[in-house]
Amino acid sequence: MKKALRISLAITLLLAACAPKVQSPSLGGGTQIFGPRFSDVNLREGLRESDATKLDISWQGEVSTSNFFRQAQNVHTLGLLTNNPTLRQKGLTWIKKFYSQPKTTSYQALALAPYAGLVIAQTKTEVTSSLETIQSDLARAKVQLRERLISIGKQFPWASRQVRVEILIKEVENFTESFIGQIPSLGLSAPVEEGLITEISAQTKPYFAKMAAFTKSFYESTNFYKNLGLIQQLLKEFEVTLPDEYSKQLSQGLQIGRGIEVIGDAQGALTVLVDVWRTLTPEEREKYYGSANETLYDFLRKQNEKELECLRTPGCRGGPIDGITKKVFILPKIEKFGVLKIRDTLNETALKFLTNVVENFALGFVHEIPVIFADNVDNGITKKAADIRDVQNNYEPYVKDLLHKWSVKKMNSYEGKVAGFETPSIQLQLTKKSPLQIQGVGSPASLKANTAGSSVMARSLLMENTDDASLGLQTALSQVNKLITIGGYRDINDRLVPALLSPVEKVKHPLDIMKLSEMPYSYRIPDQVTLQDPFHVNPGMDYAKDFSAASFAEQIDGLSQMLKITADWKVSSFDKYLGNIKAQELIEDIQSSEFARPLFPKDMFFALNVGDVAVLLKDITKKATPVFLVTLDDNIIWADQYSTSNETAIMGGIVDMKDGVKSNIVRSVDVAKFLLSLNEFLAATDGVEKTKSSILLEKDSNGRSNLDDLIEGRRDLKLLIVSLANFISNQLINEDSLVQSQYKLKEFKRSAEVPYRAYEQAYAIRALLAAWKLTKIDAYLWSAQEIYYAMNKQLFNPKEQFYVNGDGTTLDFPQKVVTLLALTELAPHLPVESNVQLSKITSPWLQALSGLQN
């Protein structure tokens, strides 16, 4: 698996090629004034006390799944920022509600999901090779074990005379322990040695425990019939089929025992006496009957089978002489002797006889134990060898069967299935008056890129904030499979299973993540792609070459959210739901330290997670890059050309690609989202120096590791964030201190065709705040403050008691939430008076948001 997950990060994360060559901390900041150029506007006249119950905060109609997930996250974050448990929990509840509804997501059996395919492909060679070695070891061990068993048996101090059965059982137990103790001296391979010891112990310990319980009950009992029942039960438990002779004797004994139990008169006693007589040899008849009652002995000895049957049958008179004898002499004597006394005597005598038979049988049996043991070990090894051959020949179905059984056991309510990707949109009703209603719209097979990215984010949020073990495991397994399907993998036949990350250029050259550094093309999730099942993309790779900047940012952000969970140096929900699962859970019938390894190694999945993001970040320096740079000389160059340029970049941005062509329009919200996504990646990989991932730590021939490249790439990403923040503060903000919605790249100017949009101001504020916190360049904070002041001056509407767009249109639900989030993040960094005023604006809306039903 290590080899399969090995990601070449060297080129991927070296973003120096597109990072601005900063010459001073204030480069590109757009101002030399120490502080914002403008001050806040006093809204006292237009700001009034608002009744939260009357504010319009509902959200209804068809909504994109990506937008729904994003607002759920925003509401959760608002709860954290305002210390509001209701809001914090509300965002999580929305996500849970989404996944609890039918037809909002697809499901696939874990045994058919990408994880199964990857595990099978990456372990087959190693496992089958190990099994081949074990096969040879077993063949050699078979001879050695028989010889050692026979040798120990000959030297063992077995009992030589009749003793109680528990003594003999203890001897067998000691013999077994002696044999197990000598197994390590046979020089067997570790798996075979450990497997034998484990298997023999597992087979014999329950046997000895049951035999101990049997002997205790057998010797404590004073009832012949009950002890026969104990023997019958023991034979059934051990699935022993008696030879015909012994089976016949047991049946006769049970018949006699039942007869003794029901003796109530002289005839009943005579019936049992005859039945016992019939089972004995002539010598035993003389021993037991002749010594007890010579008259009865002589009488019975003269009877043939027909006459004996008549004697034992109530109402049968027989011949005149025998009939008279039965009626006049035998039955009266029995009555005179005492029916109950005869019953007790018969029970006692039969019990002694049975005990003697059992003890003598056991004495003879224990001397045969070494050979029986050796035969059983031979049979066990032969069967195990056959099982191993079957696994070797049918490795894929074998592993799938193990995974299926395990998943059904662990996720019974989901029938062993794991959630795949989600529907592109939902029908939503979110109001103050009625419970939240969600209904899936469209098919999960029509996957949108922004849905893929946001769903990884939403699942990450859910995974970190649920104590429901079943939901937690389901969510974790869904995430693991999404990580694999995003980057693709090779199947058991070494064929590429196409990744969701698809070629941006017009080529049919699927991503091979194992050879990422050798691949010249760019790879992203297309804006819309067709799936052939809940996880796997249509292998035909037939999709429109549309790759929006917003979806690009969404993918980086979602994967970065998951990085916070897979980071192996941190304790996270990954440890809680997947970290403690060992391979042994799948293979319950064989106990071995070989299976103590994690079924979901966290460091491996961290490397896989990094690799998925790395594919996206590598795009920045390839020919199909969506990222442009602005130089000191006001020239625009694409990021892939920067490494061969002598110019110095000070600003940067990102554009859409439509049908493989880069757009001339730069959207301010896209630049802000891209910056925020890169910031999330940096936050997720903070402290990566502590990783124990062997994939990231392994050094190449030059002594350089993937971790070295990752650390260097993080520094370059910080410079790229500076260039994006510079573009927002220097080019996208106009003379009104508001962010213009669009920017025409070729003309190198803002477009005034689209009116100001309040939510775009919010995104710009969030991006600038993130850049300020990362770089400590105060100019970014000042720009964020100026945008807010300008919003109060030009976009605040007294009637709405909130912000509107430049054309006077009101904000929809998502735009209001995004704006509330941005202003809440900005609030601590405003002057006191502005903070107080802002609180009066946001508090009623936050209260109204809290009042929405779940």
3-state secondary structure of 451: helix
Residue 410: how many other CB atoms lie within 10 Å: 17
Q: Compute CA distances 828 → 680, 717, 785, whole Å.
A: 21, 27, 11
Is the pLDDT assigned to residue 458 strictly greater than 80?
yes
pLDDT tens-digit series, residues 356-372: 888 888 888 888 888 98
DSSP secondary structure code for residue 627 in this structure: E
Q: Compute CA distances 209 → 214, 358, 365, 588, whole Å.
A: 9, 18, 18, 21
Q: Residue 291: what pLDDT?
A: 78
pLDDT tens-digit series, residues 702-729: 889 889 989 998 998 999 999 999 999 9
Give the integer Cα–Cα distance in Å for 51 and 800: 12
Q: What average pLDDT does the segment 194-214 reach? A: 87
Amino acid at 566: T
Q: Residue 23: what pLDDT?
A: 33
CB 400 within 8 A of CB 153: no
Give the integer Cα–Cα distance in Å for 587 and 609: 28
Q: Residue 420: what pLDDT?
A: 97
Instruction: Work out the pLDDT band at 329, boundaries 50, 70, 90.
Output: low
Beta strands in 564-682 (DSSP E): 627-631, 636-638, 649-654, 657-658, 661-662, 665-667
3-state secondary structure of 704: coil
Q: Residue 735: what pLDDT?
A: 92
Is the pLDDT assigned to residue 320 strictly greater than 60?
no
Give the integer Cα–Cα distance in Å for 400 and 402: 5
Give the helix/strand (H/E) hosting 823: helix 813-826
Amino acid at 402: L
Instruction: Work out the pLDDT band at 100, boundaries 50, 70, 90.
Output: very high
Instruction: Work out the pLDDT band at 770, boundaries 50, 70, 90.
Output: very high
Is the pLDDT assigned to residue 193 strictly greater than 80?
yes
Give the integer Cα–Cα distance in Å for 2 and 17: 29
Is the pLDDT assigned to residue 18 strictly greater than 90?
no
Beta strands in 313-364 (DSSP E): none
CB 605 within 8 A of CB 480: yes
Alpha helices in 288-338 (DSSP H): 294-301, 305-312, 320-324, 331-337
731's tokens: 């080019």
| CA geometry: angle 54, 59, 65, nearest 5 deg | 160
Is the pLDDT assigned to residue 17 strictly greater than 90?
no
Contacts of 198 (CB under 8 A, 6+ apart): 590, 591, 592
Q: Residue 339: what pLDDT?
A: 78
Q: 325 or 760: whose pLDDT is higher? A: 760
**Across the chain, what does the average pLDDT equal?**
88
**Considering all CA atoms of the chain, what is the largest pairwise distance in Å, rounded to the nearest integer?**
139
Give the integer Cα–Cα distance in Å for 460 and 479: 8
Q: 789 or 144: whose pLDDT is higher? A: 789
**Residue 637 φ then ψ, to 5°:** -130, 150
Instruction: Work out the pLDDT band at 574, boundaries 50, 70, 90.
Output: very high
Q: Residue 328: what pLDDT?
A: 58
DSSP secondary structure code for residue 514 in this structure: G
512's tokens: 């091979």
Nearest one of 376, 377, 385 to 137, comparing CA atoms: 385
3-state secondary structure of 62: strand
Q: At which residue do the structure tokens 């190198």 appear?
A: 748
Contacts of 836 (CB under 8 A, 6+ apart): none
Q: Residue 441: what pLDDT?
A: 96
Amino acid at 832: V
Read off the pTM.
0.79
Q: Residue 556: what pLDDT?
A: 98
pLDDT tens-digit series, residues 126-167: 888 888 888 888 888 888 889 998 999 899 999 999 999 999
Q: What average pLDDT does the segment 537-545 reach? A: 87
Is the pLDDT assigned to residue 221 strictly greater than 80?
yes
Is the pLDDT assigned to residue 21 strictly greater than 60?
no
Give the integer Cα–Cα distance in Å for 809 and 526: 32
Is the pLDDT assigned to residue 354 strictly greater than 80?
yes
Domain boundaries in the chain?
129-389, 445-617
510's tokens: 């699927």
Give the integer Cα–Cα distance in Å for 540 and 331: 96
627's tokens: 């990222």
CB 488 within 8 A of CB 497: yes
Q: Residue 593: what pLDDT?
A: 67
Q: Residue 347: what pLDDT?
A: 85
3-state secondary structure of 373: helix
Q: Residue 30: what pLDDT?
A: 40
Give the integer Cα–Cα distance in Å for 561 and 681: 8
Residue 596: how many other CB atoms lie within 10 Å: 10
The alpha-carbon radius of gyration of the chain (Å, integer) is 41
Instruction: Work out the pLDDT band at 679, boundaries 50, 70, 90.
Output: very high
Nearest one of 775, 681, 765, 680 to 728, comparing CA atoms: 765
Contacts of 617 (CB under 8 A, 6+ apart): 12, 13, 15, 556, 681, 713, 717
Question: 551-571: b or e for each residue (b if 16 or more CB lie within 10 Å)?
Answer: bbbbbbbbbbbbbbbbbbebe
CA atoms within 13 A on the CB side of 522: 26
pLDDT tens-digit series, residues 389-424: 888 889 999 999 999 999 999 999 999 999 999 999
| Residues facing residue 796 across a β-bridge | 803
Give the integer Cα–Cα distance in Å for 852 and 854: 7
Is the pLDDT assigned to residue 88 strictly greater than 50?
yes
Contacts of 452 (CB under 8 A, 6+ apart): 421, 482, 486, 500, 525, 554, 555, 558
Nearest one of 64, 92, 72, 98 to 550, comparing CA atoms: 64
pLDDT tens-digit series, residues 284-300: 888 888 777 787 788 88
| pLDDT over 70 percentage in the chain | 93
Nearest one of 553, 786, 784 to 679, comparing CA atoms: 553
Q: Residue 196: what pLDDT?
A: 85
Q: What average pLDDT does the segment 162-184 reach? A: 91
Is the pLDDT assigned to residue 14 strictly greater than 70?
no
Give the integer Cα–Cα distance in Å for 584 and 190: 17
**Residue 722 φ then ψ, to 5°:** -60, -45
Is the pLDDT assigned to residue 29 strictly greater than 60?
no
| CA geometry: angle 225, 231, 234, nearest 5 deg | 140
Q: Compute CA distances 467 → 289, 462, 463, 698, whole Å.
A: 76, 10, 9, 36
Output the DSSP codes for 209-273. Answer: HHHHHHHHHHHH---HHHHHHHHHHHHHHTTPPPPHHHHHHHHHHHHHHHHHHT--SHHHHHHHH
Q: What average pLDDT does the segment 519-546 reach? A: 92
DSSP secondary structure code for residue 656 in this structure: -
Instruction: Work out the pLDDT band at 590, boundaries 50, 70, 90.
Output: low
Is the pLDDT assigned to residue 826 strictly greater than 50?
yes
Residue 214: how many other CB atoms lie within 10 Å: 19
Q: 170 or 242: whose pLDDT is higher? A: 170
Amino acid at 712: E
Instruction: Work out the pLDDT band at 325, boundaries 50, 70, 90.
Output: low
Please say whether the dihedral angle defined by the alpha carbons of residues 57, 462, 102 and 544, taken in this order, is positive or negative. positive
Nearest one of 798, 791, 812 to 739, comparing CA atoms: 791
Q: Would you give the distance in Å from CA 598 to the centre of its chain?
A: 11
Most confident of 156-160, 693-697, 781-785: 781-785
Give the integer Cα–Cα distance in Å for 403 and 344: 60
273's tokens: 């006496």
CA atoms within 13 A on the CB side of 839: 10
Is the pLDDT assigned to residue 673 strictly greater than 80?
yes
